[in-house]
Amino acid sequence: MNLVNLFTELKRRNVYKVAVAYAVVGWLVVQISSTVLPTFHAPEWVVQTLVVLVALGFPIALIIAWAFELTPEGIKRTEPGEELQSKPSRSRTWIYVVAIAGILSIGLFFLGRFTAPTKQTASSEISKSIAVLPFESLSEDKSNAYFADGIQDEILTKLAGIGDLKVISRSSTARYKSKPEDVKTVAHELGVATVLEGSVQKAGDKVRVNVQLLDALRDTHLWAKTYDRDLKDVFTVESEVAQEIADTLRAKLSPSQSDALATAPTRDTEAYDLFLKGEYEEHQAESILNAEPFDRAQTFYRQALARDQNFALAYAKLAHSELYRHWFISNLTSAELARVKPNIERALKIAPESPEAHQALALFYYWGYRDYEAGLKELDHVIELQPNSANGRQYRAAIYRRRGEWQRCLAEFEHAAEVDPRDSQIPTEIGNTCFALRRWNDAEHAFTRGLALDPHNAIAAQNLAATYINSSGDIGRARRAFEGVPAESRLNIASAWGSVAVMIDQRVYLDVFERHFAAAFKAWDITPSNIAEARLRRLAARAGIQVLAGQGAAANSECEQTRTLLEARLAERPEDRVSMTELAWAYACLGRNADAVRLARQAADSLPIEKDALSGAFFLAGLAEIEARTGRAEEAVKLLRQMITAPAGQFISVARLKIDPVWDPIRSDPDFQKLLSEPEPATVYK
């Protein structure tokens, strides 16, 4: 049979028609299966098997078409060389089959083209994304929980340095169970495609680590592995798990990122164990902002360094802990602050590309000296080394805010939220920014979001309450904002003082707004703590309440005690603006008005708004309060007019001025009354 006869025979036996029809219908089957089956969470192999079967069926269909034909009497073997009369009905049947299948295929193609790509694009955007959930501790000794926590944290930190991955921060994943019942929902809330679950069992010098990587969309295992190792090999396990994840997600790694995955922070297992204990305490300290766990964390870090003096990560984390305590609990003296830097320098000498060391240096410049340029330079390097660093972006946003770059600040906080979507601190900081700008509705929304993520977030609660006060004077609504916060919580940041409301505690100050001074005083009628800072704070708060209640003379002895302690503290820490504020109110309690104004002005002058657009406003408000309490109405109103148009919404608003008793001594002043009668001007910001 020559080639021409072959083609003629293929046409006569309808092989062409079958080939076209099979191709169209086969493609239609593949289109339907790939579109519909994932909706029912069918495993990927089902679709792959269908594609293989369709491909294998094609030559079989051609052979059958050659050997048999469809006639009105049924399927018959094709007679060689016979000319069969094709009936129009049969011809039209083939045309109808091909046409209908083609239309359906084209329809599915366009359906997939204009709908599926949205899902597929979204999927591809997060396909290289992962959340490392808390590791379960299976150790019989329950005190070993810190070890499982540390292993998870180290794996997560290694992954965070891979720029080709989206890695969710620890503060978000910590809110979930080790093995949640609904992995798909967890992944959706975190915005990832894969989830790593794990458990750790430590017994003596042996450790077992179980990990499994899940495809959250289909709720299937990508891989699972158990590592039974000596404790000294735990670093290798962390590196292997991180590398396996990177390989599975097909993440592209630079040479430096590959080196970082394989690098162990120390080879001394005892030093590493002490370090993990320090990390556990540090997480607790930063969560509740309490001095004692900070001190315990620093003790563990120092013990780790005593065993391994080349432990760069421990040097960096020790410095970070000291700076965190300085900023949020109690300011270090200049000499104490200077002693922090050598540890950072040692860390950088040992590990020049350590993101933790560069972050500690950034905070040293920012929190230690408000050197914003140097801090930003280090944070830029942190994000280069660790692209998924939510903390690096948050610190960068905070610096922009203090420089008065409000829009840039908000954008950076939003960026941080992409890799830390369940951390209540980020919406809280967005709320704090909007609060300062008097964007009351935006602030309320952000604080509410923060409390939805963490009902015990005291900062979000107190600033939500203050938003209700400052926007409308609604004290009842402000009280309800505190309902989820433990009654014993007294949360005020050492770097954010200036106003008497912060000194007294903003929840207690709700009683002050209503002139319930006895109730406010009773809130501080507590057993003195053994910590000197807590005792001093209690005395200062009580002195402030007595001044506002007009009972300074009755509290003369307590105010005198407060004065003595604060003067001694300022002699040791002459730059401590918090102590300046407290001492100014102690002087006001004792009737030493000139000294009170002098100290309040010293605090405000040492941190002008030009130097710090956020905290500078706090101390300027504090000066205005002291001016008002000492009868200097003209000076107080002048400051208030300056601040009513500045980003100082935390303490200065027309609604708040109307109800705050701190302004009672100048309330009848004509200029003050004129200020209250005018509409509140819009805050100008960039």
| CA–CA distance, 42 with 38 (Å, rounded to integer) | 5
Residue with tokens 């709700």: 510
Q: How far is the C-alpha of 494 from the C-alpha of 577, rounded, in Å?
A: 9
Distances (CA, A) of 76 to 14, 68, 281, 446, 571: 13, 6, 83, 76, 110
User: Among 198, 200, 180, which Cα is nearest to 138's?
Assistant: 200
CA distance to 620, 646, 654, 676, per residue, from 679 (Å) = 22, 15, 8, 8
Which amino acid, residue 85? Q
* pLDDT score at 75: 58
Specify the residue for token string 């000139």: 594
Alpha helical stretches, state H, 514-614: 517-523, 532-548, 556-572, 577-589, 593-606
CA proximity to 619, closest of 637, 639, 589? 639
pLDDT digits (tens, 9 = 90+) for 285-329: 988 778 899 999 999 999 999 999 999 999 999 999 999 999 988
Residues of the chain with pLDDT under 50: 39-41, 82-94, 96-101, 104, 108-126
**d(Cα 55, Cα 50) in Å, to the nearest integer?**
9
Contact 428, 460 (CB under 8 A): yes
Secondary structure of residue 479 in the 3-state scheme:
helix
Task: Find the length of the chain.
Answer: 686
pLDDT given at position 39: 46
Element (H, E) at 299: helix 291-307
CA distance 345 to 637: 48
- Tell me the backbone φ, ψ of residue 271, rounded to 5 degrees: -65, -40
| pTM of the complete model | 0.79
SS3 at position 162: coil
Please give the pLDDT value at position 56.
Answer: 72
Structure tokens at 133: 């959930």
What is the enclosing helix (H) or strand (E) of 279? Answer: helix 269-288
Distance, in Å, from the CA atom of 523 to the CA atom of 112, rounded to the nearest integer, reads 64
Q: How far apart are CA 265 and CA 643, in angstroms?
A: 49
C-alpha dist (Å) from residue 670 to 53, 548, 655, 673? 90, 21, 17, 5
* Per-residue confidence (pLDDT) for residue 24, from 0 to 100: 66
Contact 524, 545 (CB under 8 A): yes
Residue 412 structure tokens: 């950076």
C-beta contacts of 56-62 below 8 A and 24+ residues apart: 57/22, 57/26, 58/19, 58/22, 58/23, 58/26, 61/18, 61/19, 61/22, 62/15, 62/18, 62/19, 62/22
Residue with tokens 């297992």: 269
Q: Is 645 in a helix, a strand, or coil?
A: coil
Structural tokens at position 56: 């294998």
Whole-Å CA distances, 482 to 509, 520, 653: 12, 16, 21
CB 470 within 8 Å of CB 649: yes
The residue type of 109 is F
**Predicted local confidence at residue 597, as pLDDT:** 97
Backbone angles phi, psi at 132, to 5 degrees: -95, 105
**How many Å apart are CA 16 and CA 7, to the nearest integer?**
9
Where do the DSSP E strands lie in 78-205? 129-132, 136-137, 166-167, 194-203
Q: Would you state the torsion angle of the CA atoms of residues 430, 435, 436, 440, taken in this order, to the nearest 10 degrees?
A: 130
Could you give the CA distance from residue 181 to residue 194 in angstroms, rounded to a whole number?
15
Token output for 629: 């309490």
Torsion of CA 17, 18, 24, 28, to 10 degrees: 150
Please list, residue by residue across 657-673, b when 16 or more beta carbons sit within 10 angstroms of its beta carbon and e when fewer do: beebbbbebbeebeebe
What CA–CA distances, in Å, run from 218 to 48, 215, 251? 15, 6, 20
DSSP-derived 3-state class of residue 329 = coil
Residue 291: what residue type? A
Q: Which domains does the chain have, with CATH numbers?
A: 3-114 (no CATH), 124-262 (3.40.50.10070), 269-481 (1.25.40.10), 500-677 (1.25.40)
* Contact in structure between 249 and 194 (CB atoms under 8 Å): yes
pLDDT (0 to 100) of residue 360: 98
State the amino acid at position 224 in one-letter form.
Answer: A
User: Could you tell me the maximum CA-CA distance found in the chain, to the nearest angstrom?
Assistant: 125
